[in-house]
Amino acid sequence: MVNRASSVWSSAVFGIAALWMASAVSLAAQADTDWPVAVKSACDIVGANVRGTEDIALIDETRLLVSATDRRMEVPRGGLCVLDIASNNAGNCRPVSYTDGSTPPAAPHGIFLVPARGASKTQLLVIDHFDGRSRLLQFELTATDLHETRAPLMLEGATANDVTADSVGQYFVSALRGDGDLRWTWFATLLGLKRHSVLLVNPRSTTPNSEERESVCRRLRFPNGVAMDSRHRLYIGDTLSGQLYLWDELATSGTEQRCWAVASIPGADNINLSDSRRFDGMLVAGHPDLWRFREHRKSAAACSPSTVHAVALGGSPVKTVLELTGRERFPDASDASRSRAFCAGSSAVLTDDYLYVGQVFGDGVLRCPVRYGSREND
């Protein structure tokens, strides 16, 4: 009896020691992480000719692809453009050109550059809003233009936001269910009467429906940004709940059991995996005050605050990269005598040297130098 009790006690001590060691290893790994911090006092605004940046993506070390839609127009309209970031004085954002027969987006939202994986051309996915409906456009990105590879894929029964893809070619689209009366969808969503999900889309389908069984994470209040890491874990920014969700594509449990909240990020919007060699994680842009965001949506004068967070893969820990109140003004890189407000940051890209942040209603992209290792803003 004594031996058995001793054995149980020894097992308990061993288990506690193992947990302590695992925690210590985790903390040590976090301490070694080069966390990025934006140097806010040195930020400026580039590409001031583009209004309403919905999403941004790094093409290569010299070019940034910008998806923009001017939502303050009676009928929102926009397009894709390329910003030269190799120059210290990044000038205007150049509209992309399209090969004959391709479908230019009318009001683009989320974009995703599919890793080439040895291919000579990069695939580009674009969420586009056209005549009150959502569609997915698919292109090949060459050195000079975009070539459409398939006919537009209509996303029936959904108002789509963002898109990403896994390594086997499946697409994941964040969306609000219902594309009829969008006002009712918004009202029901705000009251919690309607929940939404991410659509798992077969690119060979012609009209993926939001009611299909391929929907994942059905508990979401407002799915916005999506990104997938190399371990087939899908990250979803839920703007209304202020949560970052993780859905494990390779887990063996049921579809809903594979989805859980891993971090709290108020007003989470777009998610981009880091393009910096110094930080292996992701960047999440957010709107910390959704009431002020609502007011800013109605009036440009009511500037909305912004945050950008760096998040380790797996969803934890989370560190603040940039925090803006909405009252700051930044110099225009193309005209140093002018300064501009920056409101409602919607998307962020991190390189070795800079953080780029798009604003969903305003003009231009914020460019901030970054330093690594500190946890606090300057």
What's the mean pLDDT in 345-358?
Answer: 97
Evaluate if residue 179 carries a pLDDT over 80. Answer: no
How high is the pLDDT of residue 324?
98
Evaluate if residue 28 carries a pLDDT over 90. Answer: no
Helices in the chain by DSSP H: which ranges?
A: 2-32, 182-190, 290-298
How high is the pLDDT of residue 42?
96
Indicate yes or no: pTM above 0.85. Answer: yes
Please state, in angstroms and rounded to a whole number, the distance separating the CA atoms of residues 13 and 20: 11
* CA atoms 80, 85, 87, 91: torsion sign: positive
What's the mean pLDDT in 10-37?
Answer: 50
Q: Are 215 and 224 in contact (CB under 8 A)?
A: no
Tens-digit pLDDT profile for residues 196-224? 889 988 877 766 665 555 788 888 999 99
**Which of 1-5, 70-74, 315-319: highest mean pLDDT?**
315-319
In Å, what is the CA distance from 101 to each residue of 106, 127, 206? 15, 19, 19
Tens-digit pLDDT profile for residues 100-113? 999 999 999 999 99
Beta bridge partners of 5: none
What's the mean pLDDT in 166-190?
Answer: 74
How high is the pLDDT of residue 35?
97
- Pick 13 or 280 by higher pLDDT: 280
Evaluate if residue 13 carries a pLDDT over 60. Answer: no
Tens-digit pLDDT profile for residues 316-344? 999 999 999 999 999 998 887 899 999 99
Q: Looking at domain 36-372, which CATH architecture does it have?
A: 6 Propeller (2.120)
How high is the pLDDT of residue 11?
43
How would you class 61 by CB atoms within 10 Å of its CB: exposed for 0-12, middle for 13-18, buried for 19 or more?
A: exposed
Q: Residue 104, SS3?
A: coil
What's the mean pLDDT in 109-124?
Answer: 80
How high is the pLDDT of residue 234?
96
Rounded to the nearest integer, the mean pLDDT of the chain is 85
Among 288, 270, 277, 279, CA closest to 346? 270
Residues in the chain: 378
Tens-digit pLDDT profile for residues 252-306? 766 666 889 999 999 999 999 999 999 999 999 999 999 999 999 999 899 999 9
Evaluate if residue 181 carries a pLDDT over 60. Answer: no
Tens-digit pLDDT profile for residues 124-164? 999 999 988 999 999 999 888 999 999 999 988 888 999 99
How high is the pLDDT of residue 291?
92
What's the mean pLDDT in 7-20?
Answer: 40
Evaluate if residue 378 carries a pLDDT over 60. Answer: no
In Å, what is the CA distance from 262 to each residue of 80, 128, 237, 258, 310? 32, 29, 11, 12, 14
What's the mean pLDDT in 58-80?
Answer: 94
In this prediction, what percent of the chain has a pLDDT beyond 70? Answer: 79
How high is the pLDDT of residue 238?
95
The domain ranges of the chain are 36-372
How high is the pLDDT of residue 311?
98
